[in-house]
Structure 1
Amino acid sequence: MLVWGSFICLIVLFLALDLGVFHKNEHVIKSKEAGIWTAIWVTVALSFSGVIYWLFANGIIDNPTGLTPKGAVLKYVTGYLIELSLSVDNVFVIAVIFSAFKIPPIYQHRVLFWGILGAIVFRALMILFGVALITKFEWIIYVFGVFLLYTAFRMLRSDEDTFDPKKSMVFRNIKKLYPITTAIKGHDFFVKRMGVTAATPLFVALVVIELTDILFALDSIPAILAITADPFIVFSSNILAILGLRSMYFLISRMLEKFRYINYSLVVILAFVGLKMLFSHHIEVPEWVSLSVISVSLVAGIVSSLLIPQSEVSERG
């Protein structure tokens, strides 16, 4: 419990420094600043693999799955890359949500901060629940595998341009609970209007982002559980990837159209992980193979997006 408590305290410290020190004064986050912060979060996450090695090498943390220190590091890095890659979809949806509710760039970091805070809590609960399921019912891994294959197929066939946050069930239910203002005055989530408390578009965007993240977690958490059922590795890799989501959003949200083949990378990753789960009791896939498939898929999607001109894609369409 000491390790878990220390890790959670570290995350709280990161969040406190982020909002209370580094982003104390609200400002529009430019690509350069976002790039620096993205590099910092990735460095922190990858450096944490050294902590993972130390914890497992010295038997400081429970090791329910019998991992070697090197094996634990490989699983941690693989899990982190899975979550990081699947976060690209989050970035797209967040951009659509901010656009739909006309959230000014200067307040977007504030919304994402509280969104990430909520995501950490919900994901912690989902991870503990998922690990408990796999530990108690081994057959559940087949259910997760089929679900990931279905998700990959759905992602391959889906048209993401049709997503409209204002037509979502979440938005309709919020309107039933609170009157919603159309104007944004400052960074407040609620305002008093003629003696009545009303939700601002910032609050609506926050709730929609929060619940959307829970839906995305239904994909990413089973995916990482295919790599390992060790709760600390699953939790730490997932949370450290989520912490970098805000800066990654500001870095690549303006360039989403350029990375038009990333979705195919995600399809390959989800399909691979789904198949790995389905055959987990029959074929043992070395961890370096999983790491290689994920890395190559991501690189291939990025390189293809950059090298193939948009005009060629349009002509083929």
Structure 2
Amino acid sequence: MLDVPWWLWAVFGAVVVVSLAVDLLAHRDTHVIGFREAAAWSGVWVGLAVAFGVVVFLVLGTTPGVEYTTAWLLEKSLSVDNLFVFALIFGYFRVPRAYQHRVLFFGVLGALVFRGLFLAAGVAVVSRFTAVLFVFAAVLFWSTYKILKEEDDSFDPGHSLAVRLLRKVVPVRDEYAGAHFFVREAGRRVATPLLAVVVAIEAADLVFAVDSVPAVLAVSDEPFIVYTSNAFAILGLRALYFLLAGLLDRFHYLSKGLALILAFIGVKLVLQASHKVISSSVPEIPSPVSLAVIVVVLAGSVLLSLARPREG
């Protein structure tokens, strides 16, 4: 187990809390976030993640530093799939662009909590039952197959289980009421569609965690590494969405690149589990190799998409 000083956990917590507070204050008024603003905020989140990675290198050493960087970049690349679903949800509910940041802000808060719970559970399970890594690998291989086959899951945000449960718990009106989640109508408290959108976003993130958690556990089983890398990737998700909004279709080879990354991580998990469960002679894939593969595949996918635009 990695010996992480308490103050490093405290620094991480303080950075997250302060960042969220500053972000909330900076966007307390409802306005449309343009490309320049999104690019500036993306730079801030990437800068924070990189700066924290430098601290991890200096305090914990090279191996934890490489694992943190690999896990962060992996989660960052997998989060691109989230962006497509966010766009689908916003389009389905016809969310005004001025309110989209508010929705994603609360979506990120929920994601930080749920990812923490899932990652903690994943680390605990792996530490007790190493063979479960084979199951995690199977999940990643299945996800790879679905992406490559371009299977249509017919995702319907309005009829997802989470949204249907919300409608049973509280009435949901059809019209928006500014950036409010609740309003009073005829003396009773009712939800606005904005709350349904947040619920749909949270439900989508739970689905994405099925891929994300096994993938990051292939990189490291250290709680500090897996959670901090996930947290910094999630924090930058909103700015990344507004930065790439309208451009996602241009990177049409990116999904294939993500499929290759998932398949590679699946192989890494199989070797890792075989090394621990079957024989120590089974080789493992070092973290620096994983980092190099992720960088090369992502860069190649983007460049290929730009070099060969989608026809029509």
With the length of structure 1 as denominator, give the TM-score of the two structures: 0.91
Which stretches of structure 1, 4 residues or longer, exceed 6 Å deviation after superposition? none
Deviation at 1:53, TM superposition (A): 1.7
Query: Does 2:188 align with 1:196?
Result: yes
Q: What secondary structure does 1:114 align onto?
A: helix
Deviation at 1:309, TM superposition (A): 2.6
Corresponding residue of 1:17: 22
Letter in structure 1 aligned against 2:88? V
Label 1:161 to 1:140 Cα distance change in 2 as closer, same or farther (>3 A). closer
Indicate if the aligned counterparts of 2:261 and 2:294 stay in contact, CA closer than 8 A. yes
Aligned residue runs from structure 1 range 67-86, under 5 A? 69-86=61-78
Corresponding residue of 2:236: 244
Q: What secondary structure does 1:163 align onto?
A: coil
Indicate if the aligned counterparts of 1:92 and 1:253 stay in contact, CA closer than 8 A. no
Distance in 2, Cα, partners of 1:7 & 1:305: 36
Q: What secondary structure does 1:175 align onto?
A: helix
Aligned residue runs from structure 1 range 104-115, under 5 A? 104-115=96-107
Corresponding residue of 1:60: none
Letter in structure 2 aligned against 1:292? A
Distance in 2, Cα, partners of 1:152 & 1:39: 30
Corresponding residue of 1:181: 173
Letter in structure 2 aligned against 1:11? V
Distance in 1, Cα, partners of 2:309 & 2:108: 35
Q: Which runs of 5+ in 2 are unaligned?
A: 1-5, 276-281
Q: Percent identity?
A: 42
Q: In angstroms, what is the RMSD of aligned CA positions? A: 1.4
Alignment: residue pair count = 299
Distance in 1, Cα, partners of 2:155 & 2:136: 25
Letter in structure 2 aligned against 1:287? S
Deviation at 1:161, TM superposition (A): 8.1
Deviation at 1:2, TM superposition (A): 3.9
Letter in structure 2 aligned against 1:154? K
Aligned residue runs from structure 1 range 215-230, under 5 A? 215-230=207-222
Letter in structure 2 aligned against 1:299? A
Corresponding residue of 1:43: 47
Deviation at 1:186, TM superposition (A): 1.1
Query: Does 2:287 align with 1:295?
Result: no
Letter in structure 1 aligned against 2:168? K
Q: Which runs of 5+ in 1 are unaligned?
A: 57-68
Q: What secondary structure does 1:197 align onto?
A: strand
Letter in structure 1 aligned against 2:250? K
Q: Render the CA deviation track for 1:227-277: whole Å, top value 9, x for unaligned.
A: 111110101000000000000000112111111111001100100001110
Aligned residue runs from structure 1 range 270-309, under 5 A? 270-280=262-272, 281=275, 282-309=282-309
